[in-house]
Amino acid sequence: MQSAPRGTPPSHRGPAWLSPYLKPVVLSCAGVAFAIGVAEVLADGRALFPGGRPGWGFAVLTGLTVAYLVAVGRDRWWGGSGAGAALALAMLLLYGWVPAGLVCLAVVTLVGAVRRKRWTDALLHGAMDMLGVGAAGLVLAAWGARPSVEEPWHPADWQPSTLPQLLLGAIAYLVVSRGLLWLGTDPSDGPAALASGALPRQGLVAVALLCTAPLIVVVAAGQPLMLPLFAVPLIALDSSFWMASVRDEEQLLDPLTGLPNRQWLLARTQTALDAAAATGDRTALLLIDLDSFRSVNDTLGHLTGDQLLLQIADRIQRRLPEDAEAARLGGDEFAVLLPRVASGTSAQRVARTIIGSLSAPLELDGLTLVVEASVGVAVYPDHAPEGEGLLRRADVAMYTAKRDRSGVEVYDASRDVNTPDRLALLGDLRRALDTGEIELHYQPKVRFDGVVAGLEALLRWHHRDRGRVPPDEFIAIAESSGLMPRLTEYVLESALGQVARWRAAGLTVPVAVNVSPRDVHTPGFAGAVAARLARHGVPAGSLQLEITEHAMLEDPQQAADTLAGLTGHGVRMSLDDFGTGYSSLVHLRSLPVSELKIDRSFVARLVVDSEDAEIVRCTVELAHSLGLVVVAEGVEDDETWERLRALGCDAVQGWLVAAAMPPAEATAWLRARDTAPAEPPGTAEPAPCRRALPPVPDSADAEPVR
């Protein structure tokens, strides 16, 4: 088994607040009790340890046991119901408590002397064993059995009533020694703690060891020189006991990296939350997921992928704060527990430090790779009251960071579609699509000569109980729930149906429809759009699809194929929200778009902010140099209109022209113009249509979101 760095996973949740106070108490009680026992024995003129053949037999058997413990190099040995305990109980039954305590002390002293780094642990566990033996001695004394070196409790004197005495004595030893160990273990210390599921398995082995104690007594009384032969069964049973504990530990470890696994993380997180609740502190959980790890496995093979995970695990551990702990949850997913943090912001700083270390180049089989990661942060008690909830919310935040390519995100309830309220809204959204409750409103795009360049279809949902639901809210639910393809179909069907009705009425106006990155990455999307155009009898040039730069980030090749298919069918493409992406210039030269829309965040402050004005100017010049039409969104006043005209913008969209309108109002708005709006290039020449200021828009149109 690989050694687990930075503390092996604890196997239980003990009361950690007792640990620092219990240890000195245990040492003091054991020391005082043993000193009193030794003093009484010496005061009565009795021997502390048997002499002659029995003494030598026990000494040799103890030496063999200690040699075995040292030889196998078990740094994790912590005493307990092992071979030393069987020896101590055998000594207790035959010669009393003080000689048994000497056996415990001898085992602990010799093992501790060899492992100097663990001598304090050895001393503590020896004290626990000593108190356990003392408890067994008290049980025997209550039944009238008070053996000593001079007056041993000879097996020939045992009666049928002795059996319950022996069982009760062994039980008393187990309860006291194991109970003290459980109370005295800090849950973050590691395998010294017992898993609740491990107790039955380890208990059976412990009972087997303790049951050998009476047999040792029988041999010691009759043939003491044969005592060293017990080393073989004691060592075999002790090894079984140790292997049982190792198997339980391995169930809490990731076999590849040696890090703790999900089961351990949840238990440790709940322990940290309990401590935080008692002190009023905050606890944070970071969930780390590697970006594009699948491509490493597919391209270089799983063996190289495993080597990558090992290096990632090592880097995460190197960047952990002092009290933090890391775990691997599976695949390329890791977690970091921060038991105490000041705020979500401080946890976010730790997360950025970790992913900063992960992004440094690493060497694998002669190749230099750069790995990026996304991290979600959830904080107790702000985001969840228990470990499972905290992990789930960190997972939500991680997927938000991955979707937005922001690196690190703190959990935001408004973006969590799995809350009960949002799950209910998802069900309502499905029904709204079935019943046609969701409507399309249309907002015009107008050129500076007054010609209507087209309309943009925008979603509106007036919930029967909730009232108006913001588009960004229910669209986010659709995107994360798998409902987005159906919503896109609904929008395309409604928009193309309306275009067909307008064309039948003599209004040949092109309509723009927003599509999501998921639509662009769906194979066959271009063919499905072409089939809908044919079914409605609408020419491809009357439909424009608006995409954002995010559509190109996840799978650029699939997106490029889809866009090429759409333009091949004659559908025009528009790049929406330009300037808010991550690699605008790179994508702009390769995307088959005919129109570029400047985001409203730049247009809103165009008149008062010289930097925004310069951005708009450069964008217009760049687009024109590539042969693209430029549309400015969010135009709300005449001054912005005139400034955009001076900068060479081609068309505008916003309240100044018209708010988004229901189909009937949009039809009336179009009919109020002198002639029909323009067709796309290649169709009939449009007649002029002058700009007209609309009434003050309804607040529902304040945020025209797709």
pLDDT band at 4 (very low <50, low <70, confident <90, very high): very low
Return the CATH architecture of domain 421-674: Alpha-Beta Barrel (3.20)
Q: Which of 103-112, 280-289, 338-347, 470-479 has the lowest mean pLDDT?
A: 103-112
Beta bridge partners of 375: 288, 408
Return the CATH architecture of domain 262-410: 2-Layer Sandwich (3.30)
pLDDT tens for each residue of 118-133? 667 677 777 888 888 8
For residues 353 and 324, the answer to whether their CB atoms sit within 8 Å is no
- Predicted local distance difference test score (pLDDT) of residue 227: 85
Q: Which of 175-189, 399-413, 469-483, 630-644 has the lowest mean pLDDT?
A: 175-189
Main-chain dihedrals φ then ψ at residue 7, nearest 5 degrees: 90, 120
pLDDT tens for each residue of 166-184? 888 888 887 887 777 767 6
Residue 301 identity: G
| Positions of CATH 3.20.20.450 in the chain | 421-674
Residue among 230, 176, 300, 284 at smallest CA distance from 61: 230
For residues 361 and 337, the answer to whether their CB atoms sit within 8 Å is no
For residues 73 and 127, the answer to whether their CB atoms sit within 8 Å is no
For residues 122 and 79, the answer to whether their CB atoms sit within 8 Å is yes
- Predicted local distance difference test score (pLDDT) of residue 364: 76
| Positions of CATH 3.30.70.270 in the chain | 262-410
3-state secondary structure at position 468: strand
pTM score? 0.51
Angstrom distance (rounded) from CA 216 to CA 91: 9
Residues 6 or more apart whose Cβ sits within 8 Å of residue 86: 209, 210, 212, 213, 216, 234, 237
Other CB atoms within a 10 A radius of the CB of residue 656 amount to 19
Angstrom distance (rounded) from CA 3 to CA 9: 11
Mean pLDDT of 368-386: 89
Mean pLDDT of 570-599: 76
Class of residue 497 by CB neighbours under 10 A (exposed 0-12, middle 13-18, buried 19+): middle
- Predicted local distance difference test score (pLDDT) of residue 82: 63
Residue among 49, 80, 87 at smallest CA distance from 65: 87
- pLDDT of 587 strictly over 50: yes
Question: 110-114, long-range: CB within 8 Å, 24+ apart, which pairs?
Answer: 110/66, 110/70, 111/66, 111/69, 111/70, 111/77, 114/70
Place of tokens 């950025």: 352
- pLDDT of 28 strictly over 50: yes
Q: Which of 248-252, 400-404, 508-512, 537-541 has the lowest mean pLDDT?
A: 248-252
Residues 6 or more apart whose Cβ sits within 8 Å of residue 619: 578, 579, 596, 598, 602, 630
Which contiguous run of DSSP H or E holds residue 234? helix 231-250
- DSSP letter at 358 equals H
- DSSP letter at 28 equals H
Residues 6 or more apart whose Cβ sits within 8 Å of residue 217: 90, 93, 94, 153, 155
